[in-house]
Structure 1
Amino acid sequence: MVKYTTQNDLKEIVTDILKKQSNLKSVFFVGCGASLSELYGAAYFLRQNALKLHVEWIQANEFNYSHPKLADKTAVVIVASLSGETKESVHAIKNAKSLGCHTIALTHVPESNLTKDADYTVVHSFFEDYASKAAKQKDALGLAVELLQQVEGFDLYKEMKQGIDVVDDITNFAADSVKKEAIEFGTKYKDESTIYTLASGANYGVGYSTANFIFMEMQWISSPILDSGEYFHGPFELTVKDAPYLLFMSDGKTRHLDARALEFFQKYNAKYTVIDAKDFWLDSKMDSDVVDYFDPLVLTGVMRVYAEELSKARKHPLSKRRYMWKLENY
C-alpha cells in the first residue's frame, strides 16, 4: 500500500534541505498542464508572504530551455506530475539537479521516472475522494508553509497548519453539497462552444485549470482564462447578453475584484455561474486571515463535481481525448 506524505514529512524535508544549504534564496514551482496549475496556490502564498525568498511559477519546458540564473545550489525546485512520467517535467527535475538545485518530486506514483533525479519525493493521493483531487495543491502549499517558516519565520504558521488539518473535510463536505447546482450547470452550458472563466488571487490556479483542462482538454470547449481584475482592461468588451461565464469568487482579500465582475455580468445580462468559496464557510473552520490560501483546494473539489455533471449532460466523458495518449511525443 502506498504511503502518502504527511505534513510532518514535509517539515522534515525542509529541515534537511536547510541543513545542507542554510542560505536558501529561491523556490521554483515547475510543472506542465494541470500539475502546473495546481502549484499556483503555493507560489501565490509565498509571493504574498515572503520577504526574502524569490519565488517563481514556471512551465517545465520553459525551465528546460530558459531556466533562470537563480536556479542554483541556493534554490529549491519542486516539480509536479501526477503520473510522474510527463517528459518535460522529468527533464526539468534532471536539469534542476544538474544545476545543483535541491529537487523535490511531487507525484502520485512513488517509483516513477520523476523521482529518479529527485532528492526528495512527496507522494499525494488522487482517487480516494473529492478532497484528494486537491491533494497535490495541499502538499505544495504545505511545503511552501514550511519553507517560509523555517527560512524567515511566519506569524500565521499555526493558523496555516490548522487550515491544512481541516481543509479535506471542508472540501468533501462542499463537494457533497453541490450536486443539484452542478446538474443545473451541466444543463445550462452543455451546448456552449465557449465559456469564459474568471478568478482572482490564489484562485487563479483553479480558473487556469478549469479553463485549460476541464473545458478545453476534457470537454473541447474554448475557454479563455481571465483574471477578474484584468477583465475590465479589454476582455469585458465581449460581455453581451447571454455570453457564457464561470466566475470563481474568493472568500478573501481579492473578493472585491470578483464581485465587480459579477456586477458587470448582471448589468449586461450575461449568462453566468458563480462558484463562491464563501458558500462553504471556510472561515468557520479556520482563521479568516489565511482563508485565501485554502479557497483553491475547496473550489477544486467542487469544480470536479460540476465537471462530472457537464460531461454527462454533453455525453462527452472526461477521459475522452482527440490527441492526448494517441500521438507519439504528445
Structure 2
Amino acid sequence: MKIEHVNQIAAAVNAVKATSVKNFYFVACGGSMASLATGDYFLNREISIPSRVYTSNEFVHVNPNGLGEGSVVILRSHSGTTPETVEAARFAREKGAVTIAVSMEVESPLCKEAEYTVHYNYKDGSDVIDGETGVYYSLIFGILNAVAPNEKYERVIKQLNQLENLFETNKKNTYDQAFQFGSDYKRDKLIYTMGSGAYYHQAYSFTSCLLMEMLWIHSNAIHTGEYFHGPFEITDYDVPLLIIKGEGPTRSLDERAITFAQKFSKKVEVVDVAELDFTGIDEDLKEYFGPAVAGAVLRQYADGLAEHTGHPLSVRRYMWKMDY
C-alpha cells in the first residue's frame, strides 16, 4: 500500500484510538452507502459499541440524539462532491464528532470538510490494495484492532494483499456464467436481487446502482430473512431472482429462500460465495473477504447484461445532467 494511504489510515485510526468512542455512524448515499454498510456489519459482529448506517440527507435531518463528542462518523463519496454527504460531514464535525472521509478525490469538498481523509486510487493502474476496497478494509480493521485488539484483525490486513488475485481469479472463473446470465435475462424488464448479512448490502448495491441506475432495469433488493414475510408472494415461473448465497452465519436464510424460489420460478440465478476461490485467505476470515469478492463478481453480471442488452453502464437519463 502506498505510504500516503498508510499515513492517512494511521491518522484516522489513531484519532479513534484517542477517543472514548460511544458510537459509530456510517453516512453516505447509494453505492457508497452500501460500501460503508459492510463496515457497519463487521463492527456489529465484532464489538459492542453501537453503530448505524444513514443515508446522508436523513442523517442531517434526523439529527441522531447520540451524535456528538465520542461519535465517530465515517463518510464516503466516490467523487467527494455529493452535496448531501458534504453537508453531513460539516454537520457531524460541528457536533464534535470525529469525522473520517473516504473518497477518490483528496481535494474534494468532502475531504476538505472532514477532519480526516482516507483517499483511494481509482483506474490509475494501482493494485487493488490501493483501491477503494483495500483502503476501506484497512481502515475498518485498523479501527477494530484499535478499540478491541485481536490478532484476527491483523491477519485480515495482511491478507488484503491477496485481494487482486482473488478478484481476477473469481472474475475469470465466473465470466461464462455471468455473461450467460446477461444473454438469458437480456429481455427482462425486472430482476429482483436477494441476500442476507453483509451480502444484503451487495444485493442493494447491485439493485440500486447497477440494475436501476446503470441498466434501467426495474428491481428491488429483498433480504432473504424477509422473503417469507410478504415478498415471496410475487414468485412465479417467469419472475427473475438473482440470489447471493452468502458465506457466513446467515447462509441458512439464503438456502431457505433459494429452495422455495426454485420450486416456483424457472428464472433463479444463484451466486454461491462458498464456491468462489479464497486461495490465501484463512478459513476463519472468509466471512470478511466474501462481500468484497462477491461485489467484483456481481459487477461482471452487470457487464454481461450491458453487453447483451446493448445498454452501456455509463449511460444516464438524469444523473449529472440537471439539477435535482
Normalization by structure 2: what TM-score? Answer: 0.93
- Alignment RMSD, CA only? 2.3
2:306 corresponds in structure 1 to: 311
Out of 21, 28, 36, the residue aligned to residue 39 of structure 1 is: 36
Cα distance between partner residues in 2 of 1:67 and 1:189 = 43
Cα distance between partner residues in 1 of 2:242 and 2:193 = 5
2:200 corresponds in structure 1 to: 204
| Aligned residues of 1:186 and 1:313 also touching (Cα < 8 A) | yes
1:292 corresponds in structure 2 to: 287
The structure, 1 or 2, with the larger RCO (C-alpha pairs under 8 Å, 6+ apart) is 1
**What is the one-letter code of the residue matched to 1:30?**
V
| Aligned residues of 2:100 and 2:118 also touching (Cα < 8 A) | yes
Cα distance between partner residues in 1 of 2:129 and 2:85 = 20
Q: Secondary structure at the match of 2:69?
A: coil
Q: Does 1:141 align with 2:140?
A: no
Cα distance between partner residues in 2 of 1:149 and 1:155 = 8
User: What does 1:1-330 align with in structure 2 at a 5 Å threshold?
Assistant: 6=5, 9-19=8-18, 21=19, 23-51=20-48, 53-127=49-123, 132=128, 135-154=131-150, 156-282=152-278, 284-328=279-323, 330=324
What do residues 233-292 of structure 1 show as CA deviations (whole Å, max 9, x unaligned)? 11111111121010111122221111111111222233011112122232x422222212
Number of corresponding residues: 324
CA gap 1:305/1:106 in 2 versus in 1, 3 angstroms:
same
Normalization by structure 1: what TM-score? Answer: 0.91
**What is the one-letter code of the residue matched to 1:16?**
A
* Structure 1 outlier segments of 4+, above 6 Å: none
| Aligned residues of 1:200 and 1:250 also touching (Cα < 8 A) | yes
Aligned-residue offset at 1:293: 1.8
* Structure 1: gaps of 5 or more residues: none
Aligned-residue offset at 1:163: 3.5
| Aligned residues of 2:27 and 2:55 also touching (Cα < 8 A) | yes
Q: Tell me the percent identity.
A: 35
Cα distance between partner residues in 1 of 2:98 and 2:28 = 16
CA gap 1:298/1:312 in 2 versus in 1, 3 angstroms:
same
**What is the one-letter code of the residue matched to 2:97?**
C
| Aligned residues of 1:218 and 1:320 also touching (Cα < 8 A) | yes
* Structure 2: gaps of 5 or more residues: none
Cα distance between partner residues in 2 of 1:147 and 1:65 = 27
